[in-house]
Amino acid sequence: MKQTNGQQIIQIFESWSPKKIAAMDGDPIGLAIGTLNKPVSKVLVTLDVNEAVVDEAIENNCELIIAHHPPIFRKLANLRTDSPQGQLLEKCIKNDIAVYAAHTNLDVAEGGVNDLLAEALQLKNCEVLVPTFSEKMYKLAVFVPEDHADELRQVLAGAGAGQIGDYDSCSYTISGKGRFRALEGAQPFTGEIGKLHTEPEVKIEVIVAESNKNKVLRSMLNHHPYEEPAFDLFALETPAKEMGLGRIGTVNTMTLKEFAEHVKTSLNAPKVRVVGDINSKVSKIAVLGGDGNKYIYAAKRAGADVFVTGDMYFHVAQDAESMGLHIVDPGHHVESIMKVGVTEKMTFLCAERKIDCTFIPSKLSTEPFQFI
């Protein structure tokens, strides 16, 4: 296993949850405190950053904190160490703890907050509730000698080509014969200068996302045995890959009351607020982590019977009730599901790259509310 630094850890994280997919303009994501130019062996994963969480990072010898909620949400007018926020920043800096925030990009990311919530609620046939980002897709077709096809397929998959939904390493192969003549000055992998040569080849086709296009092409060119590889890259007219906030799916039909109990159990919520007839039957469920007030109309248009979200305002709840949309509000803090989710994902990604780094989910609750 290789030792690593903060920059490498965040590069791995952003390969999964890149900044560009953030759903909010001006979202204060990225490095908030400290530096990533240092060795990192332990990372604490948390929903929020408060003084107790920083103490937890210190106790666990963590050099980096990855948080969902940015510790600096609005620009600072000053940095006073006699204020609570100033004391928090001072403690991080004095103990050389960097803090990185992944907010709405982690909400949108595949396998991020909203997918974790949907999975916990056991939603089936899930789709994005509110599309916020689309990415153009390409098809790469490359010709390679038969004996090198398996190696090149692995290289393409390792660069991120061939990812379709929940599948990776997807490709299609056609066999044929390639013909060429190497001219003076060439250094052919096979064949002779000045003579027409026929080589058994295969054509490998893979899907490539626009954001990954240059990386895939570089990897293909660097590992292809030919001096001048023959390849085609087509922009696809098929719908672009969509990502976004929230998820919508189905559960087995049950009453609203039964579903509310299911939410409490699945999301470890001590209490939930419910809008609607608790005896009505429900099966189509929308879920959106955090504050989902502005998305009640999107949930209704998508055909949801119930919208599971937090921080529901009084008048918005009345609007939802009037349009026949049931609400189950388990609070904002259910986003803490990301602590274990991010820990598991980053542990897997680092192990895959043989990177030696330990990820620790915070054991502290940052829920400010008590239920009596």
**What pLDDT score does 23 carry?**
94
**What pLDDT score does 366 carry?**
96
Ordered alpha helix ranges (H), the chain: 6-16, 51-59, 84-94, 104-108, 113-120, 149-158, 213-223, 256-266, 296-301, 314-322, 338-352
User: Is pLDDT at 347 greater than 80 in this prediction?
Assistant: yes
Question: Where, residue-wise, is CATH 3.40.1390.30 in the chain?
Answer: 6-102+336-361, 113-132+243-330
**What pLDDT score does 357 carry?**
96
Fold of 6-102+336-361: 3.40.1390
- Quick check: helix, strand or coil at residue 39? strand
Q: Which CATH superfamily is domain 113-132+243-330 in?
A: NIF3 (NGG1p interacting factor 3)-like (3.40.1390.30)
Beta sheet of 358-361, edge-to-edge order: 30-33, 98-101, 64-67, 42-46, 358-361
- Please, which pLDDT band fits residue 104 given cuts at 50, 70 and 90? very high
User: Domain 137-239 belongs to what architecture?
Assistant: 2-Layer Sandwich (3.30)
User: Is pLDDT at 118 greater than 90 in this prediction?
Assistant: yes
**Percentage of the chain modeled with pLDDT above 90:** 89
Question: Where, residue-wise, is CATH 3.30.70.120 in the chain?
Answer: 137-239
Poorest-pLDDT segment among 47-61, 65-79, 102-116: 65-79
- The helix (run of H) or strand (run of E) holding residue 129 is strand 124-135
pTM of the predicted protein model: 0.85
Rounded to an integer, the average pLDDT of 116-131 is: 97
**What pLDDT score does 239 carry?**
74
Rounded to an integer, the average pLDDT of 54-71 is: 98
